[in-house]
Amino acid sequence: MSTRFIHRGTLLALIAASLVAAAPAFAAVPPVNATLEPSQIALGESAQLTITSSDRGMDPPQLPHVPGLELRIVGQSQRIQIINGRTLASSSFIVRVTPQTVGIFTIPDVAPNGEPLVLRVTPPGGTAQSGKFSGSGAPGVGGSGASGIRMVADGAAFVRLVLPKRDIYVGESVPVDIEVGLRDGFARPNALPTLVGGDFTLNNLSHQPEQARRAIDGKPYTVLTWHSVVAAVKPGKFSLSVESPLTVRIRTAPQRDSMIEDLLGDPFGQNIFGASITKDITATSPSSELTVLELPTEGRPPDFSGAVGSFKIAGDVSSNAAAAGDPLTLRMHVTGSGNFDRVDSAMLEHLDQWKTYPPKSSFKASDALGLKGEKIFEQPLIASKPGTHTLPGLAFSYFDPGTHRYETAHSAPLNVTISPSLADGSLNAPQLPAGAAPSAGPAATASSNPGLRPDHIATEAGTGTLVPLYLQPRYLAIPSLLALTFAGSWLGLRRRMSGSSNVLGGRKRGASKDINRVLNDMETAARTGDAASFFTLARAALEAGRGGDSDDIRRFLALADEVNYAGLRPTHEEFQRWLQFMRDAFQRDELSGGKLS
Amino acid sequence: MKSRAPLAWIAWLIAGFLCLACRTHAAAAEERVYSASALYNSANAYARAGKPGLAVLNYERASLLAPDDPDVDANLRFVRESAHVAAQPRRWIDPLVTVARPAVVAWLGVAGVVLIGASLLAGHLAPRRRRTRRAALIVGVALVGFTVSNGLVLWPKLHEAVILTAAAPARASPVPMGDPLFVLPEAETVRITAEHDDFLLVRTRAGRSGWVSRANLAPVVPRR
C-alpha cells in the first residue's frame, strides 16, 4: 500500500513539475505554418491553403479578405506524433481558395511571420496546373485521362476536336467532329465552339448539334457533337484546337463531401448547402497536330481551279435538234466529294459556228456537310448555222489527295442537229402588201406561201382586255337595262289601257242600275194609274239621255205635257205602250253610252 | 299631249343609256393595253426571230381584236405551216366573225335591242303603222341574233392556249414525274379544260388530253 502511495505521489509530483515547467510555453503563441498548393492554377480551379498550428486546440483562423479570391474553410484535422517518446500534437485547417478572376493574388496575415502567400491564376485552358481541389473523382482532371479526354472546370465539361489521322493538302476540305461534353447540372454552353487560330477555315456550325448521353468514368455527360469541315489556307505544321464558351458550376465543398454528393447523384446537395459557384469560362480542347501539305506545282493543269477531292463529270445538252438561232443549254454535271466551292469551269469559251455565253452553276449537296453532291454548270449556246454539229467533250481538272496527283476528267462529245431558222425563211421570202388576199388555204404549204405580210402602222386606240366587248360584263349591263326599260314601259302602257276600259265598264254598270230603278218606279206608277208620276219620271230620264231628238220622244214629251196641264188620263194599254217605249229608249241610250240619272 | 309623255320618257332613258355606254367604252379605251396592230407587229417580229409559238400567240390575240383583218389570218396560217403545225379548219360559221370587229358587233346588238323595244312600244302608241313596226322588229331581232352568234363563235377561243416551247410534255397527272403521254409541238393551239397548281389540262384538236406545265404555254386571253 505504502509503495503505491509513493508511486502515485511521485506521478503527481512529476505532472505538477511538468505543468510548472510548461507554463511559459502555454503562455506563448504557438507556432503557425501556412502553405498554399499549388501556387499557380487556372481559372475555374481551386488551390488549397493549409494553416497548421502545433496547438491541438487551435481556434478557426480569421481568414483575410482578398478581392478576387474566395476563401472558405472546408476541413480541419489534428495530428499526434510520438517521436523518440515525445508526443507532438498539431492541428490544421484546410481552406479552399477559389479565384474569381485571372491575376496574381497575395494572401496576407495568414502566416505569423507575415510572409504573404502568392497565388497565380491563369486563363482556363491546357496550360494551367491542376488545382488541388479539382480531383472530385473526375479522371485526368486538367489533363488527358484514360479516355483521352481532358476535363476542365472541376470535371464539369470537356471539349474535344476529332481530326483525321493523316496529312492534308491546302484547300482540301476535311471532315472534323467537335465534341463538347457537359456534366449534367454542372455546365451549359454559352455559344458555338470556335476554331483557335487563323490558318484554317471552319464551316458554319449548326445551332442544333447532335446530342448523346455518355458515361465517362461512371459519370453522366451530355455530349454535343458538331460535324463540320475545316480547310487549311497555307501549308505547314499546325496545332489545331477549338474553344467553347461555357457556364460551369464549381464545387466549393470539401472533397469528401463532393465524393458523397457524387455517390448520391449530385447536384442537389450543392444547391441545398450552397457549396458551389457559377462561372463563365472558355474551355479549350487539347491541341492536335496537323500537317498541311502544299499542292504540287508539277503537273498542274492550266485549267486547275483549286478543286481537291475525287470527282466525275458528265455532259448533256438540252436538245439534240434545234433551229439556227435557238438557244441550247449545255450542261456539265460534276459529282463526287471534295471542296465543291472551288469546283469551277469556264466550259466552252470559244466554239466555231456557235455563240457561247458564260456558264452558271448550282450545287446540290447530298450530305449534311456539303462534302458530297453534284454541281451543275449550265452554259447557253446558240448555233449560227444549220447542219450537224459536234460539241466537243468537256474537261475538268482537280487534285486527288488519294492518289496525290492531278487528274483530269472528260465527258463525251455531243452531236446536235441544227435546222434552218424560221426567221431565215420568212425574211428571205417576198412580202405581200398589207391587206392583200391571203393565198394560203388550209391545204397550202409553207413553200407555196409567199411569206409574212408586212407590219401595220399602229393607229387605233388600245383596249384594256382581249375579251370581245359583247362578252364583257359591263357591256352586257347596257342591253340588259335597255331591255328591262322597254319591257317595263310596255307593261305600263298595257296596264294604263286596261285601266281606262275598266272605268267605262263601271260607269255602264251604274247606269243600268239607275235605269232599272226608274223603270221599276214607272211600272209602279202605271199600275196605280199615277199618270203625273209616270210622265215626270219618264221626262227626267229622257232629258238626261241622248235620244231626245227622235219624233217618238217628242210626241211622248207632248203627251206628258197634256197629262200634267190638261188632265189627260191614259188607259192601261197606253201606260204599257209608253213603258215599252221607255224600255227601248233606255236600251238604245245604253248602247250608245248615254248617261241616265 | 298625254299620249306623247311615255315616248319622251323612253327617249330620255335611251339617251341616258347611250351616254353610259359611251363612258363605258371610253373607260375601256383608257387602259390601252392591247392593240390589234401592235399585237400583229409583235407576232411578225417573233416569226422573223424564229419563235413560232410566241408569233402564233400574238396573231391569235390580234385576231380577237381585229377578226376582219386578212393579214392576221394570212400570217397566222403561214407561221403555222412553217412550224409544221396543222392549221385550224374553217367552219361555216367562222365568216360571221370576220364581218366586223367585236366592238361594232356589240353596238349593233344594242341597236337591235332598241329596235325591238321601240317597235313593241309603238304597237301600243301608234297602232296604224303596222308594217314599219314589223320591219323594225325583224331588223332588231336579226341584229341581236348576229351579236349572240358572234359571241358563241368566239367563246371557245377565249379558253385556248398556245404552246410556247419546242416540245411540251403532256402528262397523265399534274405532277412533273413519269413519262409524258405525248409531246405537243411549239405553236400548237390547245383548249384549256381545267387547271391545277402549275399545270393546265389541255385538249388538242385530235381529242387527246394531258396536263401541261404553265411554263410551256400561254393562254390566248391572259388571266388576270
User: Do B169 and B155 fall into the same domain?
Assistant: no
Is residue B70 reached through a cis peptide bond, with omega within 30 degrees of 0 on the bond before it?
A: no
Question: Which residue would you say has higher pLDDT here, A265 or A561?
Answer: A561
Closest by Cα among A395, A400, A371, A201 to A296: A400
Fold of A300-419: Immunoglobulin-like (2.60.40)
Domain stop point among B45, B65, B87: B87
- Judge whether residue B150 has pLDDT over 90: no
pLDDT, position A130: 38
Answer yes or no: are the C-beta atoms of A333 and A363 closer than 8 Å: no
Q: For an interface test with A, which of B22, B82, B157, B220 has the most A Cβ atoms less than 10 Å from its Cβ?
A: B82
What is the least distance, in Å, from the CA of A483 to any CA of chain B?
A: 6
Domain boundaries, given as residue ranges, for chain A:
27-122, 151-292, 300-419, 501-591
Report the C-alpha gap between A434 and A457 in whole angstroms: 10
Answer yes or no: are the C-beta atoms of B211 and B184 closer than 8 Å: no
Which among A440, A479, A481 has the least Cβ separation from residue B74? A440
Which residues in B lie closer than 8 A to residue A326 (C-beta atoms)?
50, 166
Report the C-alpha gap between A302 and B4 in whole angstroms: 100
**Does A463 contact B65 at a Cβ distance shorter than 8 Å?**
yes
pLDDT, position A257: 52
Which among A323, A438, A462 has the least Cβ separation from residue B77? A438
Return the residue of A nearest to B3 by Cα.
A493
User: Do B74 and B113 fall into the same domain?
Assistant: no
pLDDT, position A141: 37
The percent of residues in chain A predicted with pLDDT above 90, rounded, is: 7
Q: pLDDT, tens digit, for every residue of A218-232? A: 778 889 999 888 888
pLDDT, position B60: 93
Report the C-alpha gap between B174 and A388 in whole angstroms: 36
- Judge whether residue A18 has pLDDT over 60: no
User: Per the structure, how many domains does chain B have?
Assistant: 3
Q: For an interface test with B, which of A452, A472, A497, A501 has the most B Cβ atoms less than 10 Å from its Cβ?
A: A452
With 0-12 / 13-18 / 19 or more C-beta atoms within 10 angstroms meaning exposed / middle / buried, residue B66 is: buried
Q: pLDDT averaged over chain A?
A: 75
pLDDT confidence band for A14 (50 / 70 / 90): low
Q: Which domain holds residue B115?
A: 91-159
Report the C-alpha gap between B216 and B224 in whole angstroms: 18
CATH at residue B176: 2.30.30.40
Which residues in A lie closer than 8 A to residue B41 (C-beta atoms)?
455-456, 458
The residue type found at B118 is A
User: Do B83 and B96 fall into the same domain?
Assistant: no
pLDDT, position B190: 94
pLDDT, position A488: 85
Which residues in A lie closer than 8 A to residue B106 (C-beta atoms)?
468-470, 475
Does any domain span residue B11? Answer: no
Question: Which residue would you say has higher pLDDT here, A545 or A120?
Answer: A120
Report the C-alpha gap between A7 and A20 in whole angstroms: 20
Q: pLDDT, tens digit, for every residue of B170-201? A: 999 888 887 789 999 999 999 999 999 899 99
**Does B74 contact A439 at a Cβ distance shorter than 8 Å?**
yes
User: How many residues are recorded in chain A?
Assistant: 597
Residue A483's SS3 state is helix
pLDDT, position B192: 94
pLDDT, position A3: 43
pLDDT, position A39: 82
Which residues in B lie closer than 8 A to residue A469 (C-beta atoms)?
25, 28, 102-103, 105-106
Which residues in A lie closer than 8 A to residue B114 (C-beta atoms)?
482
Which residues in A lie closer than 8 A to residue B220 (C-beta atoms)?
466
Set of cell numbers at residue A458:
399602229
Q: pLDDT, tens digit, for every residue of B211-220? A: 999 999 999 9
User: Do B112 and B145 fall into the same domain?
Assistant: yes
Question: Which residue would you say has higher pLDDT here, A32 or A266?
Answer: A32
Which residues in B lie closer than 8 A to residue A419 (C-beta atoms)?
none
Does any domain span residue B193? Answer: yes
Q: pLDDT, tens digit, for every residue of A242-288? A: 889 988 887 665 554 555 555 554 444 444 445 677 888 888 888 88
Q: pLDDT, tens digit, for every residue of A116-137? A: 788 888 776 544 333 333 333 3
Return the residue of B nearest to A495 by Cα.
B124
- Integer-rounded Cα Rg, in Å, for chain A is 63
Domain stop point among B110, B139, B159: B159
Q: Angle, to 10 degrees, between the axis of helix B130-154 and the axis of helix B102-125?
A: 150
Could you tell me which residues come within 8 angstroms of residue A307 by beta carbon, excluding any fewer than 6 positions away? A338, A339, A340, A342, A343, A344, A396, A397, A398, A399
Average confidence (pLDDT) over A394-422: 87
Q: Residue A151 half-sphere exposure, CB side, CA atoms within 13 Å?
A: 29
Least confident of A32-46, A255-269, A486-500, A550-564: A255-269
Q: For an interface test with B, which of A419, A452, A466 has the most B Cβ atoms less than 10 Å from its Cβ?
A: A466
Fold of A151-292: Immunoglobulin-like (2.60.40)
pLDDT confidence band for A496 (50 / 70 / 90): confident
Residue with cell 202605271: A526
Which residues in A lie closer than 8 A to residue B89 (C-beta atoms)?
442
Does any domain span residue B125? Answer: yes
- Judge whether residue A46 has pLDDT over 70: yes
Average confidence (pLDDT) over B13-29: 70
Answer yes or no: are the C-beta atoms of B202 and B212 closer than 8 Å: yes
User: Do B97 and B154 fall into the same domain?
Assistant: yes
pLDDT confidence band for A1 (50 / 70 / 90): very low
Q: Residues B125, B126, B128, CA angle at the centre, nearest 5°? A: 150
Q: pLDDT, tens digit, for every residue of A422-444? A: 555 443 444 444 444 444 333 33
Set of cell numbers at residue A236:
505547314
Phi-psi region of B74 (alpha: psi -120 to 50; beta: other; left: phi over 0): alpha
Please tell me the CATH code under which domain A27-122 is placed: 2.60.40
Does any domain span residue B71? Answer: yes
Q: Which residues of A348-366 are buried (b: 16+ CB within 10 A; e: fewer)?
A: beeeeebebeebebeeeee
Q: pLDDT, tens digit, for every residue of B34-80? A: 889 999 999 999 998 889 999 999 999 999 888 888 899 899 999 99
Q: For an interface test with B, which of A384, A486, A491, A501 has the most B Cβ atoms less than 10 Å from its Cβ?
A: A486
Does any domain span residue B13? Answer: no
pLDDT, position A213: 83
Average confidence (pLDDT) over A547-571: 74
Domain stop point among B26, B59, B87: B87
Check for a shared fold between A27-122 and A151-292: yes
Question: Which residue would you say has higher pLDDT here, B200 or A138?
Answer: B200
**Does B24 contact A432 at a Cβ distance shorter than 8 Å?**
no
